[in-house]
Amino acid sequence: MSALLALLTLLALTSAAAKPNAGLKTWSRFSKLPYPGDKAFLYDTFPKDFIWAVGTAAYQVEGAFEKDGKGLSIWDTFTRGGNRMATGDVGSDSYHNIHTDMRAIKQLGVSHYRFSLSWSRIFPNGTRGSYNEIGTNYYRTLIKRLKEYRVEPVVTLYHWDLPDHLQQTLGGWSHPELVGIFKDYADFCFQTFGDDVKYWITIDNPFVVARHGYGTGVVAPGIKNDPDLPFRVGHNLLKAHAAAWHLYDRHYRPRQRGKLSMALASHWIKPSRTRLESLRECQCSLDHVLGWFARPLFTDGDYPPCMKARLGSRLPSFTPEEREQVRGTADFFALSHGAALSFQLINDSLKFGQQEDLDLRMLLYWVNAEYDRPPIFVVQSGWYVLGTTKTEDSKHMYYLKRFIAEALKSIIIDGVNVIGYTAWSLIDGFEWHREYGIRRGLYYVDFNTLDMKREPKTSATFYRNVIQRNGFPELPENRPAQGTFPCDFAWGVSANSIQVETTPSQFADPSVYLWNISNNGELMRLEGFSAPPVRRSAHCADYATIRQQVDEIRQVGVNHFHFSLNWSAVVPTGDVAHPNDTLLGYYRCFTRQLLQANVTPVVTLWHHTRLRSSLPAPLDTASKWLNRETPEAFADYARLCYRELGAHVKMWITLNEPNDEMVSYQEGHQMLRAHALAWRVYDREFRHAQRGKVSLALHMDWVEPAFSFSREDVEPAKRILDFRVGWFAEPIFGSGDYPLGMRSWLRQLNSLDLPVFNKEDRQLVKGTYDFFAISHFSTKLVTHAMEDSYTYTAILEVQHMIDTTWIMSPRPVVPWGLRKALNWVREHYRDVPVYVMANGVQEDPARFKDSLRVYYLYNYINEALKAYTLDGVNLKGYFAYALSDQRDPGFGLYGHVHDEVIIKASLSNYRNIIQHNGFPIPGAAPQQCPSMPQPCQGCHVLARRPVMGFLTLVGSGVLITLGLIIYFTAKRHKECY
């Protein structure tokens, strides 16, 4: 018999050795997945028979620690020792609240409920001889109620609460005798409850039990003297589980047809470097936590080679018989993931210099590869909020969303056999070593009420909706739109500034060259010779930078280009009577060349930046925008620009993104006056002749309530939009005053910071627009409940947070936020023409194959199309930001390596969208748009000076006629010879 067992063990080892460390491929596999497409949210559903569960643990929620004959557990003793501040004596009092817990379970709509049996409630001293009928009946009643609600129980035999008598008399799990005692306890449970239970968990999270119960002493029983004791404890836990499994397999499975496993918890780890050594350290880290128990169960009945190599004799060894006894004793892989372990109970010594992460999807893939595709039941997953948080647990909700979404991708994309997901936990309770400092329940428990009142949290509503829809089915608004923009749509690209060349680069070299025409055609510079200076004024063609920049813009395929002037450079002294004529001449040439390339210039007079004011020096040193003279000076500067450049510029932005949160209300008030004065100047003095348009551009990232069905979250989102966008928009596009919500909010705070418009200023500012221009880059998520002081805005009572399913780089990439922002404008200001004046994403400038920007532009433009075609937004144009990394690092369609200009992948993709004027329906007839008129180089002469233009044309005709007569006369004379 021994020889047979040895042979079987050898065969098992040989089989396992065929795929050593199969999970090692996980990191390289995920690094090669398409980015950012693989990171995008997956809209799909789970298999029809997918298990949706929720769970609890006995000591955390039951309470009644001495009621009806229950014996003490190690947690009852542990919480009364040392510096412990709280106990689970009452917990959530589920022992007396089966009906309220059942109501919560029914509301969620789960198919399974995972709970644990309190060993000391059934056997007060841990053995069958102390059997407690009343405690056993509690579980009979619970299972009966579950069955009545058609909810299947998932029963855990041991969730950390060992009868204290076994700890005191035997030393708990450190004693091998506990293997037989646990087997007998399991036998009773299978016999008593097994007819109604199809999923059993023998032991929950043996890693925490062994390492932190008998090693670090963080959890009960709190032993921390012997560094090798955890490994002996782990050894006994494995053997106890195997004994229970074989018992069930032989005596109960044929009739009860259930499945049994051990719940194994794990963190996730990612390499700090890309070297193979780092990957091996990651593998070893997982082996020391998850593989410690998973490899014996699922592979070869022995510990991971990495553990054996590093721990040596400290790690107990299995005999061949024991290996065979342990191997294969799991019917499914029960995986625990989340706050019970990750970033809590994994210390640096187990990370081996690598970085801990929360990636459930990669962990599932690793388990699938490492243990030969077992069915995986996620039996615990979730996160936590602070103990002071009540029902608004948006943070927990978004972590649940992330983990469920990762499980879905694991099934649909990775082909992993995930059979179920368990949200943790049903209700708030005693959170082990963190006591009541955090909450993990989907239902809020008011521990100060006698009946432990339960209320559904935000996360409960979310989880219920996910279960009802069986995942995240694709909705019409999630699908890409098909269609085109209007023929006169403004396709543009933006840049904060352009490259300025104040000295013409053409005809600036005085050297004399010899052209070697007979040989290689090279130019040879003649030393000692120089040409006389050119006696002529500069021409626009002399500026090489203009030709280069215009050519780059033209290659994008846009018909508009947006850039900013520099006020302090155009009028250095602040006196418009003494402008920088050279710079104005350059801007004039630049805009003229744009028009000749069929590109309409869009010019910003003042671009707000946090780094510098860009005001002329006298104003910069004299209170900047707080100076009452600054708006008047700005109007004079605007008049100068209109006069000098207005012949070529028909679209003006007075102020670009003045609504920065760093701008004070007093500064903003003067900026509004400055814009209005500049607009009035154009309207009175230039509009009739130049026929252009003027407005300002506001920064408008969307603000989404963390829970859109909650009025408490919707209100702070509206508040931020009032304070960030309505602050400048309402005085101009609306009532002529600041938003009512903004003023009333500040009034209740007893703040007098917001200025008051007098009648004259209100009339001055109101209606000073020709279009509504926004810069949009990302979306923010907010809730009203404070969770993190670092991201809480006290004056607005708003908590900023992140949906961890969003693509980050570094700001969230949320395409649908643009559509919502455009609809906000439509809803507030009716049919106003809207331009998206800047929209772009920051990406590593070294990535010329900028897949994130390709994804970003495609999806944001598609959302803009939805706003136009489906929502009726009067959208007139879209401008990608930005033209080049050289002027706007990380945002450019063009990259640069030294002096070489690189066309990025995003430029070609954007140009393709422009050429199709959107996303035309496949097979549909092409959109019929009138062709763009070619520029008439001399038409402006005819328009402005008709007599001179007429004489010029007549003179040109006469000269051409005379030339032709002379040519043909000479030709005929030659033919006579």
Which tens digit of pLDDT belongs to each residue from 498-524?
999 877 665 555 666 666 655 666 766
Q: How far is CA 768 from CA 285, 694, 800, in A?
A: 64, 8, 33
Confidence check: pLDDT of 274 > 90:
no
Query: Residue 521 has what pLDDT?
Result: 62
Angle subtended at Cα 373 by Cα 369 and Cα 374, rounded to the nearest 5 degrees: 125
Average pLDDT over residues 701-714: 91
Query: Residue 756 has what pLDDT?
Result: 95
The secondary structure element, H or E, covering residue 410 is: helix 394-412
For residue 29, the SS3 value is: helix
Separation between Cα atoms, residue 76 and residue 709, nearest integer Å: 41
Separation between Cα atoms, residue 409 and residue 39, nearest integer Å: 10
Query: Residue 14 has what pLDDT?
Result: 41
Local confidence band at 542 (pLDDT 50, 70, 90 cut-offs):
confident
Higher pLDDT, 974 or 632: 632
Q: How far is CA 51 from CA 44, 47, 139, 234, 505, in A?
A: 16, 9, 22, 29, 72
Which tens digit of pLDDT belongs to each residue from 458-494?
999 999 999 999 999 999 999 999 999 999 999 999 9
Which residues sit opposite 336 in a β-bridge? 265, 380
Position 358, amino acid:
L
For the ranges 60-64, 446-450, 828-832, 847-851, the lowest mean pLDDT is seen at: 847-851
The secondary structure element, H or E, covering residue 455 is: strand 454-456
Average pLDDT over residues 679-694: 98
Confidence check: pLDDT of 619 > 70:
yes
Half-sphere exposure of 146 (CA within 13 A, CB side): 24
Confidence check: pLDDT of 885 > 80:
yes
Separation between Cα atoms, residue 659 and residue 698, nearest integer Å: 6
Query: Residue 538 has what pLDDT?
Result: 67
Average pLDDT over residues 598-615: 90
Average pLDDT over residues 724-731: 98
Which tens digit of pLDDT belongs to each residue from 133-163?
999 999 999 999 999 999 999 999 999 999 9
Query: Residue 285 has what pLDDT?
Result: 97
Q: How far is CA 468 from CA 111, 151, 473, in A?
A: 11, 15, 11
Separation between Cα atoms, residue 320 and residue 307, nearest integer Å: 18
Separation between Cα atoms, residue 345 and residue 211, nearest integer Å: 9
Confidence check: pLDDT of 694 > 80:
yes
The 10 Å Cβ neighbour count of residue 308 is 15
Q: Do 732 and 669 contact (CB within 8 A), yes or no?
A: no
Cis before 36 (ω within 30)? yes
Q: How far is CA 624 from CA 250, 613, 666, 755, in A?
A: 86, 8, 11, 17
Average pLDDT over residues 690-705: 98
Across 83-87, 183-187, 843-847, which has the greatest mean pLDDT?
183-187
Which tens digit of pLDDT belongs to each residue from 155-190?
999 999 999 999 999 999 999 999 999 999 999 999
Average pLDDT over residues 954-971: 67
Query: Residue 10 has what pLDDT?
Result: 41
Confidence check: pLDDT of 368 > 60:
yes
Query: Residue 7 has what pLDDT?
Result: 41
For residue 52, the SS3 value is: strand
Local confidence band at 612 (pLDDT 50, 70, 90 cut-offs):
confident
Local confidence band at 535 (pLDDT 50, 70, 90 cut-offs):
low
The 10 Å Cβ neighbour count of residue 283 is 24
Query: Residue 757 has what pLDDT?
Result: 95
Half-sphere exposure of 155 (CA within 13 A, CB side): 24
Q: How far is CA 64 from CA 85, 138, 436, in A?
A: 19, 12, 17
The 10 Å Cβ neighbour count of residue 297 is 23
SS (H, E, C) 760-795: HHHHHHCCCCCCEEEECCCEEEEECCCCCHHHEECC
Query: Residue 15 has what pLDDT?
Result: 42
φ/ψ of 678, rounded to 5, equals: -65, -40
Q: How far is CA 829 from CA 165, 821, 853, 875, 878, in A?
A: 73, 12, 31, 13, 19
SS (H, E, C) 487-519: CCCEEEEECCCCCCCCCCCCCCCCEEEEECCCC
Query: Residue 541 has what pLDDT?
Result: 80
Confidence check: pLDDT of 3 > 60:
no
In terms of Cα–Cα distance, which of 6, 125, 111 is closest to 55?
A: 111
Which tens digit of pLDDT belongs to each residue from 407-436?
999 999 999 999 999 999 999 999 999 999
Total residues found in the chain within this entry = 977
Confidence check: pLDDT of 547 > 80:
yes
- The average confidence (pLDDT) of the chain is 92
Average pLDDT over residues 874-898: 95
**What percentage of residues in the chain have a pLDDT greater than 70?**
91
Higher pLDDT, 948 or 233: 233
Average pLDDT over residues 256-283: 95
Q: Where are the beta strands (DSSP E) in 275-412?
A: 333-338, 355-357, 376-382, 385-386
Which tens digit of pLDDT belongs to each residue from 17-43?
437 689 999 999 999 999 999 999 999
Query: Residue 752 has what pLDDT?
Result: 86
